[in-house]
Amino acid sequence: MSELGHDRASSVAQISRRGFLGATAAATAALALSGCSPTDSENTLELGETGSLEEGEWVALPCNCGVCCNIGYVVDNMVVRQKTDDTGEDTDENPQNRCCVRGRMSRQRYMGADRLKYPMKRKNWQPGGVDFHGELRGRDEWERISWDEALDLVAGEVKRIMDNHGPKSFFCGVSGDGHGGGAAGGQVTRLLNAMGGCVYVWGTQSYGGIPVVSTFMEGDPWSYGMMETQDVFTACKADTAIIFGLAAGSLANSWYRAMKHAGVRFIVIDPWFSGQTEQVADMWVPVRPGTDGALLLGMAYHMIENNLHDQEFLDAYTVGFDADHMPEDATTNENFKDYVLGAYDETPKTPEWASEICGVSPDKIRELAEIATSASPLIWRSTQAPARTENGQNYTQLFYAVGWMTGNVGFEGAEVAMANPQSVGMGSSMILPGSPGIEIVTNPICEGPAEVSMLDKGGYDPEKFYGLPYGGAWEAIVSGKYTDFVHGEQPIDIRCIWKINSCSPLNQFSGASKGIEAFRKVEFVVTSDLFMTSDCEYSDIVLPAASFWETPWSNAGQVMPLNPRALFFGGKQVIEPLFEAKDDVWMEEELAKRLDIDPKLIRNISWEQASYNVLATTQVMKDDFSGMEPLAAITQEDIDEFGVEGTPQEGRVPIKELLEQGYYAAQRSPDDPYAITPKRADYRNDPVANPRNTPSGKYEIYSQSLTNYMEIYGTTPVVEPLPKYRPADEGYEQTFANWETKEKGEYPFQVISTHSARSVHSSFHNVRQLNEVHANNLMINANDAAALGLEQDETVLVTSKHGKILRRVNITPRIMPGVLMIGEGNWINLNEEGIDEGGSANILAGGHVVGHGHQPWNTCLVKVEKWDGEPLLPDCQRPYRTFDFE
């Protein structure tokens, strides 16, 4: 029997339906009796049956972010315990690849009693495009239907809508990341593509205003995550790291720990004092959201005034800093130095000027400027969050300009780089993951989906259709119009929203209030998911998806090179699908059969073959660091046993051992011959022989090509060639009715939404243990709370121009005055008054298209009021979304 496939070795326990269903019934009964206290027993199906460590076996669990090691003890088709990397010593050089709190809660998530169990249909929806009662989406009741009924209904609607309205009437708001994990893997609309295509989204979500600005100023769409910019051992050679926005990531932790032990000083510039900041920071500098640009200018002023900046570096490697170094293509004669000094607007960008905007004291701004220009090597880094603001492109311009003024480019321990060290670790060269060999069915009408920026330099083709921008998709669906770059306003007529894949666009795109209108407008919405998420609640047909523990796909689909020295691929299929859950590709195959589409177009090779291909083509660094070699050693007997096609090969580890282990880690030592040459060392060493990919071949502080290119997007205002501070439309300046007298306006608070330790976006939101430990309350500064007369845990109504939410408050000094923080990802839960009791940041955030299509989540203004209605339950006591017919 195949170890890779559904026919797993007999040592893996088979599902015990009876035991399983019994546990569910007990769990449901317990819920009904006790309300909902946050105990494991109510939501974890197998509780009480953890048993001894004799009846089952330890199996490597695929963990979808691919960064750490997750192992489960499987008994009778249940993961009853979890552990993580407990091998070797946990050192700075070779840290154990320990699982984060979310990974460790996977058992509670995947085996929760609130898993979707059966296909369901919304009661008042009827196929045919007439009696669909869209207004009841989010309010209707549900009925259980069979898989045959569900697939017939979906196939019928697809055929009807495709025949009558064509592929441009289907919208698939895939995020492109697939963070939820899952069988859908990289491509998610094979069926629609085989039938003529559908409408995708374009723009950036993770990277905010970074990619296009970076392309033109730096010569690369982004300057890479930390492990790509340099090696952990060279990062430890830095004197100081100045970090704008410190993420709650997990992988970065081991780097930060090594850097702390090496004595690197950390300065964190962030409105919020996060747990991560608490761990690493030597200095915390709170800054108002979206005003980092002003802070940067204040620093630049102090550098110029005191001649602290690296003029030699600027002269040799950049254009646009001063009048003597302007690029040839400049259409204005403005340069950065004179802008800072106030030559063009009679406003010298003094630390005092900056302080009024960004909230950092003038002395602190001067101190930062002095540290940035005296500490060497310096890590000058920003995560994406400060660029996920309305003026995120202006911020990106200023970040590079002032970073380059310090000259920290291209030598060990130095960097001027943007992006989250955790989330961007593109292709570490210790390990090169293999390819599953799955054929993609391209979308014949629409380019994308595009997470980064499909309009990479020169990539824009006016003849092509790119779909709807993330931030403007809902407005386009509601209004029937969208802006198509150089073509201007165009009609669009979406009839079906399609989500048979692992993302949550309604919950996760900005402007969710508009999103609900869009969902309620169309004729048909189909979603597949593991849980009754908000996207499901606003659908007509809901299909229960198998988690990636329940398919052998995990080997093939979840290999992500996010960890620079280890690779995690999961091993064997962990358990059989729970209840009636099916993987997304099976769903599309079954639909294809009903629609006379060749199922081979949906799945060109078996899961087993795809999984085998990944392992067979993965390359790893040789022991002596002299080059790469295949990871898996494969014999003809292995190939015969797995029933796949392949050729025997030599490799480092026998393939069966890899499957048992589920991961492979390379070992490092500070004196090994492998250290990534610092990024841009070639440019530093010989800028003539190794020019940057910009019109001048240098770093462009003044970038005419950036402005020219931005005009294509059709968004306003177009960024200027010179880095300048521009207040955001819903930024700090707009919290005032009168800036001069500092009289506050209707929406006096700024709110940011961060990626919290509690969840991966909306995933894990339903895990009570996580909600209990990291309650996603509204963080409010103690002074602000006192002014509003608020008590700890009190419920407040938060109102923006775009929507209203209820939240309990967490009164804390960890957020700066005037700023509120709420973790992103809460499941929307609108009540009858249209107020979101779920506390979604996207109900507050407006959906509008800015820059190159990024979503300005961290630019949002609100007011806060005491709530005199029913107080909110803590999130960990909220009822599970389960159904009577279960």
Ligand X SMILES: Nc1nc2c(c(=O)[nH]1)N[C@H]1C(S)=C(S)[C@@H](COP(=O)(O)OP(=O)(O)OC[C@H]3O[C@@H](n4cnc5c(=O)[nH]c(N)nc54)[C@H](O)[C@@H]3O)O[C@H]1N2
Residue 44 near which of Mo ion, ligand X, none (CB within 5-8 Å, type-dependent): none
As a whole number of angstroms, the longest Cα–Cα distance in the chain is 81
Smaller CB separation from ligand X, 197 or 209:
209
Residue 510 in the binding site for Mo ion (CB under 5 A): no
Residue 503 CB, nearest distance to Mo ion (Å)? 11
Q: Contact between 157 and ligand X (CB under 6 A)?
A: no
287 binds, among ligand X, Mo ion, none (CB under 5 to 8 A by kind): ligand X
Q: For ligand X, which stretch binds (CB under 6 A), given 486-494, 544-552, 637-645, 704-712?
A: 544-552
Site string for ligand X, 573-602 (x = CB under 6 A): -----------x------------------
Q: Which is nearer to ligand X, 382 or 704 (CB)?
A: 382
Alpha helices, H only, 125-250: 147-165, 190-194, 210-217, 226-229, 232-235
Q: Of the candidates 415, 529, 720, 875, which one interacts with ligand X according to CB under 6 A? A: 529
> Under the criterion CB under 6 A, does residue 386 sit at the interface with ligand X?
yes
Question: Are β-strands 541-544 and 378-382 bridged in parallel, bridged antiparallel, or unpaired?
Answer: unpaired
Contact (Cβ atoms closer than 8 angstroms) between residue 770 and residue 874: no
502 binds ligand X (CB under 6 A): yes
Q: Taking the mean position of all CA atoms in its chain, how far away is CA 522?
A: 27
Decide the pairing of beta strands 663-665 and 201-202: unpaired
752 binds, among ligand X, Mo ion, none (CB under 5 to 8 A by kind): ligand X
The tokens for 604 are: 């060109």
The option from ligand X, Mo ion, none interacting with 125 (CB < 5 to 8 A, set by class) reads none
**Angle formed at CA 45 by CA 43 and CA 51, multiple of 5 degrees:** 125
Taking CB positions, which residue lies at the least distance from Mo ion?
206
Q: Smallest distance, Å, CB 761 to Mo ion? A: 8
For ligand X, give the closer residue by CB, 423 or 613: 423
Query: Of 224 and 664, which CB lies nearer to ligand X in the complex structure?
Result: 224
Spatial contact of 798 and 753, defined as CB atoms under 8 Å apart: no
Query: Binding residues for ligand X, how many (CB under 6 A)?
Result: 66
754 touches, from ligand X, Mo ion, none (C-beta below 5 to 8 Å by class): ligand X
Residue 182 interacting with ligand X (CB under 6 A): yes
Write down the least CB distance from residue 567 to Mo ion, Å. Answer: 21
Residue 835 Cβ vs ligand X, minimum distance, rounded to whole Å: 17
563 binds ligand X (CB under 6 A): no
761 binds, among Mo ion, ligand X, none (CB under 5 to 8 A by kind): ligand X
Given 62, 180, 327, 721, the residue binding ligand X (CB under 6 A):
180
**Is residue 290 near ligand X by the rule CB under 6 A?**
yes
Closest CB to ligand X among 174 and 476?
174
Question: Contact with ligand X (CB under 6 A): which of 391, 533, 769, 800?
Answer: 533
Tell me which residues in 189-218 interact with ligand X (CB under 6 A): 205-206
CA dihedral 873→835→784→356, nearest 10 degrees, is 140
Q: What 3-state DSSP class applies to 453?
A: coil
Q: Is 530 in the site for ligand X (CB under 6 A)?
A: yes
What is the three-state SS of 751-817? Answer: EEEECCCCCECCECCCCHHHHHHCCCCEEEEHHHHHHHCCCCCCEEEEECCCCEEEEEEEEECCECC
Q: Where are any strands of DSSP class E within 332-397?
A: 378-382
List b or e across 8-39, with b for residues whose CB sees 16 or more CB atoms inside 10 angstroms: beeebbeebeebbeebbebbbebbeeeebebe
759 counts as binding Mo ion under rule CB under 5 A: no
Cα 165 from chain centre: 33
Nearest distance in Å: CB 681, ligand X: 26
Q: Which two tokens stand for residue 428?
A: 């570490």
- The interface partner of residue 289, options being ligand X, Mo ion, none and the CB cut-off 5 to 8 Å by kind, is ligand X
DSSP state of 634: B
Nearer to Mo ion, 178 or 377 (CB): 178
* Contacting residues for 697 by C-beta, under 8 A, at least 6 apart: 687, 691
Is there a contact between 492 and 749 (Cβ–Cβ < 8 Å)? no
Burial class (CB in 10 A: 0-12, 13-18, 19+), 755: buried
User: Taking CB under 5 A as the rule, which mask of x and - marks residues 558-577 in contact with Mo ion?
Assistant: --------------------
CB atoms within 10 A of CB 72: 25
Which of 77, 229, 234, 763 is the binder for ligand X (CB under 6 A)?
763
Closest CA to 616 of 638, 598, 596: 638
Q: Smallest distance from the beta carbon of 691 to ligand X, in angstroms?
A: 30
> Of residues 409-468, which lie at the interface with ligand X (CB under 6 A)?
420, 422-423
Measured distance CA(865)–CA(785) in Å, rounded: 10
Residue ranges in 256-295 that form contacts with Mo ion under rule CB under 5 A: none
Nearer to ligand X, 195 or 398 (CB): 398
730-752: b (≥16 Cβ within 10 Å) or e: bbbebbeeeeeeeeeeebbbbbb
Task: Determine, following the binding rule CB under 6 A, whether residue 842 of this chain makes contact with ligand X.
Answer: yes
Q: Helix or strand or coil: residue 275?
A: helix
- Under rule CB under 6 A, residue 383 binds ligand X: yes
* Residue 308 CA to its chain's centroid (Å): 37
Closest approach, Cβ 287 to ligand X, in A, equals 5
- Out of 2, 24, 753, 776, point to the residue binding ligand X (CB under 6 A): 753
**Residue 584 interacts with, from Mo ion, ligand X, none (CB under 5-8 Å by kind):** ligand X
| C-beta separation of 183 from 546 below 8 A | yes
Nearer to ligand X, 779 or 811 (CB): 779
- Shortest-Cβ-distance residue relative to ligand X: 182
> How many Å is the Cα radius of gyration of the chain?
27
| Under 8 Å between Cβ of 338 and 344 | yes
Q: Report the C-alpha gap between 451 and 642 in whole angstroms.
A: 36
- Give the binding range for ligand X (CB under 6 A) out of 555-563, 660-668, 691-699, 749-757: 749-757
Q: Among residues 782, 793, 761, 772, which one has the least CA distance to residue 866?
A: 793
Residues 195-214 that bind Mo ion (CB under 5 A): 206
Work out how close the CB of 199 gets to ligand X at its nearest, in angstroms, rounded to a whole number. Answer: 17
Q: Other CB atoms closer than 10 Å to residue 479's CB: what's the count?
A: 16
Binder of residue 700, out of ligand X, Mo ion, none (CB less than 5 to 8 A by kind): none
281, burial (CB in 10 Å: exposed 0-12, middle 13-18, buried 19+): buried
Which of 287, 319, 360, 610 is in the footprint of ligand X by CB under 6 A? 287
Is 544 near ligand X (CB under 6 A)? Answer: no
Residues 236-275, one symbol each (x = binds ligand X by CB under 6 A, - = not), give: --------xxxxxx-------------------xxxx-x-
Q: Shortest Cβ distance from residue 202 to ligand X (Å)?
A: 15
What is the Cα–Cα distance from 372 to 402, expressed in whole angstroms? Answer: 9
- 60: exposed, middle or buried (C-beta count within 10 Å: 0-12, 13-18, 19+)? buried
* The entry of ligand X, Mo ion, none that residue 290 binds, CB within 5 to 8 Å by partner kind: ligand X
Phi, psi of 524 (to 5 degrees): -150, 130
Check binding of 820 to ligand X (CB under 6 A). no
Residue 558 interacts with ligand X (CB under 6 A): yes or no = no
CB of 471 to Mo ion, least distance (A): 14
Query: What are the residues binding Mo ion (CB under 5 A)?
Result: 206
Query: What are the residues binding ligand X (CB under 6 A)?
Result: 175, 177, 179-184, 205-206, 244-249, 269-272, 274, 287, 289-290, 292, 383-386, 388-389, 420, 422-423, 501-504, 507-508, 528-531, 533, 545, 547-548, 584, 752-755, 757, 759-763, 824-825, 841-842, 845, 857-858
